[in-house]
Structure 1
Amino acid sequence: MKRFIPGLVLALLGTGAAWAQTPYNAETTYRKLVRDYPFIRIAGSETPASVQLRKDLVYLEHPDLALGLDLYLPQPGARPAPLVILVHGGGWASGDRTGMAPLAARLAARGFAAATVSYRLSGQARYPAAITDVRESLRWLRDNAASFGIDPGRVAISGASAGGQIASLVGMLEPQAVRAVINIDGLSDFTTEESRKHEDDPNKKPSAAGAWFGGRYSEKAPLWRAASPITHVGKDSPPVLFIISGVPRFSVGREAMAAKLASYGIASDTVALPGTPHSFWLFDPWVEPTVEAMDAFLRRTLPWFSAPPEYPSVSGLTFRHELDRTQA
């Protein structure tokens, strides 16, 4: 069994142009959005008494950097719990795993084990370092599954924004280990004209994607293709749920990836939250419908899963967003 260390120490590898000027988190994003969405509130990540939180577990140590995860464990049941790995967003250059804590706490309250993971950002190491890190977190969690009451055969991966792209890519690269993928407002294809209009904008020096790849599309086209989840869809790929905001640019490539999955007989689904901004998963009233969509999809795709008939409310919300559901 690989070791885990209670206590995470991060030694950053310096700063550079790839780092975001403003940190990506709920607080900074709230200040940007509240004028247009005055009803939003930063989602809490409190855990009910039934959920055990194991913080700062180190899953991978680089020479100058230890990478950790926080593990939210549900109340023990008759059999090991299914696991959802959650990958944070931030344009590959910012953000941290606490951004996925509200989703993790609510999923754990519903009977899932949920792990929020850190990975190397573009200012620390370029692509494919983040992909390597998340794949290692998957392996570490499966290797240590018995210690945490997790079923290593029922693992899903999800992420939001840049984390959605990373999670989707890892799911396509690890079809034997990952049974389901949930991409929350993340790109499926870096190479399309619509994607490059934003991600390869010459006025951005560099763009978030360009900083991650170490060059523009014309300079690093093989990397831009390799990092696109759609590139790796095949006959063994897991089913995918896309949860999308009202800002189409962030989920570019979704329709084409759904069609490619369908060509292999693999299911996908899209849940749209109309009128929402990007980063909706950080805020109430949108966290609860996001978790409801994730929960419903995971119950269909992770075999033989049944949670307790009742689960405590983390947020206390009575609001239920009316979802527009379109079959991909």
Structure 2
Amino acid sequence: MTCNPLGHAARRSLGVVVALCLLATEPATAQPPAPTVNDLVYAKTVSDSGEPIELHLDLWMPLDRSARPRPLVIWVHGGAWLAGSYNAPPPGLRQLLRRGFAVASVQYRLSSQAIAPAQIHDIKGAVRFLRANAARRQLDPERFAVWGASAGGHLAALLATSGGVAESEGDVGGNVDQPSGVQAAVDYFGPTDLLRMQTDVADPPGSAIDHDAPDSPESKLLGFTGPGRGVGVLREAADSRLTEFASEIALAKLMNPIEHVDAHDPPIFIAHGEDDNVVPIEQSVRLAQKLAEAGVPHELQRVAGAGHGFRAMSADVNSAAVDFLAERIGPATQKRRQADAGSAE
């Protein structure tokens, strides 16, 4: 989740907000390799106003063409659910390709096009499409991972934790016979409890956004905007057990990764800057605590001195995230699986 240039706090410091938005979505390399498959349509859907929308993805295949089928990392871009693009190559793309991963960057409907749960429906639709076409694209359908930053981190964590939650599935793109789950996930500084964003703000570092405001990114994602509305109103109603906004509160909880954590979730790597003034680090702490309680393998990297954005993460943290994925879905896991299958015969 990056910044909303129309929010109350954003109007006070527009230059800082725009810089943070760019930082969270900016690719880490100036000249990344071109996609192996560019602008592939994975689904046709509509906006909330009924306008037709095609959803696309870009696919990169690893540099080592000998090891097949390949594990896949699905990249989900940030941008406050308001901006960003699948066309911006994922940060760390070269490192993933060198390690033998295929990488897919997927498009999802922005909150200006459709409110939640459209975004998670789209991401799950992309997973099902890629799994249905795994043989054609030389992908291993049993070794899928997701990696997202900011708003993309939120959706990555939600994808990883919401397996079996019918309301989160949708039918975008069809292929409903295919599972939408993944075998590992990486969440970089993503929101995990939309109703607690403002109350999780610590001072320092403070917050560049009034998350409770009716024009905040979270309020727009939930479609709860306008006078007398906003996420803060929903939190107060939820805490007071009021029923006036029951459906909106239920939607917020549906979109909260921490609501769905259970022992069946895949391993999750979490990284968050301790000086992040856009998404409070307590959001990642909340998720790590839930994962620990459920016994889900996970790792939380608190990055001292780091603010919001992929470039705020150190090279060591980024390498640790890739190592985390390699241990769980990388080429070595395929060899172990083949060896286990051979010994069982």
Q: What TM-score do you get using the length of structure 1 for normalisation?
A: 0.73
Whole-Å Cα distance in 2 between the matches of residues 252 and 100 of structure 1? 28
CA contact (8 A) 2:74 2:104 kept: yes
Whole-Å Cα distance in 2 between the matches of residues 99 and 278 of structure 1? 18
Say yes or no: does 1:32 pair with 2:41.
no
- Cα distance change on mapping 1:76 and 1:239 into 2, 3 Å: same
SS state of the match for residue 291, structure 1?
A: helix
Partner of 1:227: 255
Identity rate, percent: 31
Partner of 2:204: none
By percentage of residues, which structure has more helix?
2
Say yes or no: does 1:77 pair with 2:74.
no
Q: 1:95 aligns with which of 84, 88, 99?
A: 84
> Counterparts in 2 of 1:140-151, with a 5 A limit?
140-151=129-140
SS state of the match for residue 87, structure 2?
A: helix
Partner of 2:332: 305
CA contact (8 A) 2:71 2:139 kept: yes
Whole-Å Cα distance in 1 between the matches of residues 18 and 115 of structure 2? 29
Partner of 2:227: none
Question: What is the total number of aligned residue pairs between the two structures?
Answer: 273
SS state of the match for residue 90, structure 2?
A: helix
Partner of 2:219: 210
- Cα distance change on mapping 1:274 and 1:287 into 2, 3 Å: closer
> Counterparts in 2 of 1:241-252, with a 5 A limit?
241-248=269-276, 249-252=279-282
Whole-Å Cα distance in 2 between the matches of residues 95 and 52 of structure 1? 18
CA contact (8 A) 2:70 2:101 kept: yes
Whole-Å Cα distance in 2 between the matches of residues 93 and 31 of structure 1? 13
Partner of 1:267: 297
The farther-off stretch of 221-230 and 267-276 is: 267-276
Deviations 1:47-78 (A, max 9, x none): 46xx8622111111125111111111102233
CA contact (8 A) 1:46 1:105 kept: no
Whole-Å Cα distance in 1 between the matches of residues 193 and 265 of structure 2? 16
Structure 2: which amino acid aligns with 1:298? L
Partner of 1:4: none
Whole-Å Cα distance in 2 between the matches of residues 263 and 188 of structure 1? 16
SS state of the match for residue 92, structure 2?
A: helix
- Cα distance change on mapping 1:102 and 1:200 into 2, 3 Å: closer
Deviations 1:1-51 (A, max 9, x none): xxxxxxxxxxxxxxxxx98569xxxxx989837xxx9xxx96325346xx8
- Cα distance change on mapping 1:127 and 1:193 into 2, 3 Å: closer
Partner of 1:124: 113
Q: Following TM superposition, where does structure 1 have runs of at least 4 consecutive aligned residues deviating by more than 6 angstroms?
A: 28-31, 196-200
CA contact (8 A) 1:30 1:42 kept: no
Say yes or no: does 1:178 pair with 2:206.
no
Partner of 1:43: 28
CA contact (8 A) 2:100 2:331 kept: no
Structure 2: which amino acid aligns with 1:56? D
Partner of 2:194: 190
Whole-Å Cα distance in 2 between the matches of residues 201 and 274 of structure 1? 23
Structure 2: which amino acid aligns with 1:269? E
Whole-Å Cα distance in 2 between the matches of residues 271 and 211 of structure 1? 29
Whole-Å Cα distance in 1 between the matches of residues 254 and 303 of structure 2? 29
CA contact (8 A) 1:45 1:101 kept: no
Q: What TM-score do you get using the length of structure 2 for normalisation?
A: 0.70
- Cα distance change on mapping 1:168 and 1:100 into 2, 3 Å: farther
Q: Shift in Å at residue 265 of structure 1? A: 2.0
CA contact (8 A) 1:185 1:245 kept: yes
SS state of the match for residue 234, structure 1?
A: coil
Q: Shift in Å at residue 273 of structure 1? A: 2.7
Say yes or no: does 1:157 pair with 2:166.
no
Whole-Å Cα distance in 1 between the matches of residues 197 and 145 of structure 2? 30
- Cα distance change on mapping 1:80 and 1:30 into 2, 3 Å: farther
Say yes or no: does 1:276 pair with 2:306.
yes
Q: Shift in Å at residue 304 of structure 1? A: 5.7
> Counterparts in 2 of 1:307-326, with a 5 A limit?
none
CA contact (8 A) 1:189 1:252 kept: no
